């Protein structure tokens, strides 16, 4: 049996440079893996199945460490199952696998949870089924399933362009401590991008991505905070004002910067040390409870 960690990601910057004829947006982003992860178990089987591991582990809900996976379906529409089927079809094999997924990454969060799970399935099943694929083939398979999957297959810190397929690794990079929360329900990526397309591009607060890239590599948090921006944050805040309120609350507790990741709705704050992050997290929890913002947690970035 194989056990794989499917790490979430954050966007340090997110800029949209244009739109292709097929409707896909051209991106310029700094993305980095974080320690928070889902877990995927794979074992050989006669058929291809996907199960919710949380339902099989009564101790999980009692422990309170995993977030609810109620919004996730474990049928053929799940990206894990779709990735497994696409890999099997591409390699022209009829092998099966019992796949069990334990969710921790929240849904509709902008943290790439589904894409991380699919990437873990692709890498794990290549090993389980003893397949031979080049890295280029694996990345193309991933891209055909979702724009975030090539980065999730690569991980670490990277500059990501195109529709997600242009990846320039920047690892290793120093780890940075974060306080995170999802202050509202998940957002539809399609709806957020649709609202963005209606904006006047001259009114956008764009990130200084080159400056942020240099700040990350040199661990200059002050410069990083000034350079960060997410062009989708404005439309997401308009739909869910709690996103902006939570970001400001994190900054009031000492975050160098509070910002939404991806298309939302998770917000994170950047802190200079683990101790500062843990202190802020403790202070943020009653604020979040009072405002109905849900759980607050601490994590850190992964450099490679």
Residues acting as catalytic residues: 9, 148
Number of Cα atoms under 13 Å in the Cβ half of residue 205: 10
CA distance 197 to 199: 6
220 touches 256 (CB < 8 A): no
Taking CA atoms, 111 is separated from 59, 130, 152, 251, 274, in Å, by: 26, 30, 10, 20, 21
The DSSP output letter for 205 is: -
Both tokens assigned to 263:
């298309």
Helices (H), ranges, the chain:
58-63, 79-91, 113-128, 135-145, 149-154, 189-197, 209-218, 221-227, 233-239, 242-252, 274-291
Question: Which residue reads 């006669």 in tokens?
Answer: 46
Q: At what angle do helices 79-91 and 113-128 cross, to 10 degrees?
A: 40
DSSP string covering 41-77, please?
Answer: EEEEESSEEEEEGGGG-HHHHHHT-SPP-TT---STT
Beta bridge partners of residue 260, listed in sequence order: 267
Helix/strand/coil percent split, the chain, to 5: 40, 25, 35
Among 176, 178, 8, CA closest to 104:
8
């Amino acid at each position: 049996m194989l056990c794989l960690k499917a790490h979430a990601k954050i966007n340090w910057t997110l800029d949209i440079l244009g739109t292709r004829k097929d409707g896909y947006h051209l991106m310029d982003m700094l993305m980095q893996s974080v320690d928070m992860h889902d877990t995927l178990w794979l074992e050989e089987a006669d058929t291809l199945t996907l199960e919710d591991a949380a339902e099989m582990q009564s101790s999980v809900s009692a422990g309170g460490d995993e977030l609810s996976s109620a919004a996730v379906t474990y049928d053929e529409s799940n990206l894990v199952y779709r990735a497994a089927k696409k890999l099997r079809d591409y390699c022209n094999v009829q092998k099966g696998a019992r796949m069990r997924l334990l969710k921790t990454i929240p849904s509709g969060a902008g943290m790439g949870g589904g894409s991380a799970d699919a990437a873990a399935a692709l890498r794990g099943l290549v090993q389980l089924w003893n397949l031979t694929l080049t890295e280029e083939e694996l990345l193309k398979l991933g891209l055909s399933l979702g724009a975030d999957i090539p980065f999730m297959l690569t991980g670490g810190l990277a500059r990501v362009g195109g529709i997600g397929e242009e990846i320039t690794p920047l690892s290793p990079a120093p780890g940075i401590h974060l306080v995170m929360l999802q202050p509202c329900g998940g957002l539809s990526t399609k709806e957020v991008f649709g609202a963005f397309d209606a904006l006047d591009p001259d009114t956008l607060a764009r990130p200084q991505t080159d400056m942020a890239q240099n700040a990350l590599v040199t661990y200059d948090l002050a410069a990083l905070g000034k350079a960060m921006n997410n062009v989708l944050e404005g439309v997401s805040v308009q739909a869910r004002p709690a996103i902006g309120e939570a970001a400001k609350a994190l900054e009031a507790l000492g975050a160098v910067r509070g910002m939404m990741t991806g298309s939302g709705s998770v917000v994170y704050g950047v802190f200079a040390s683990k101790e500062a992050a843990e202190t802020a997290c403790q202070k943020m929890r009653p604020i979040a409870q009072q405002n109905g913002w849900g759980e607050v947690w601490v994590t850190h970035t992964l450099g490679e």
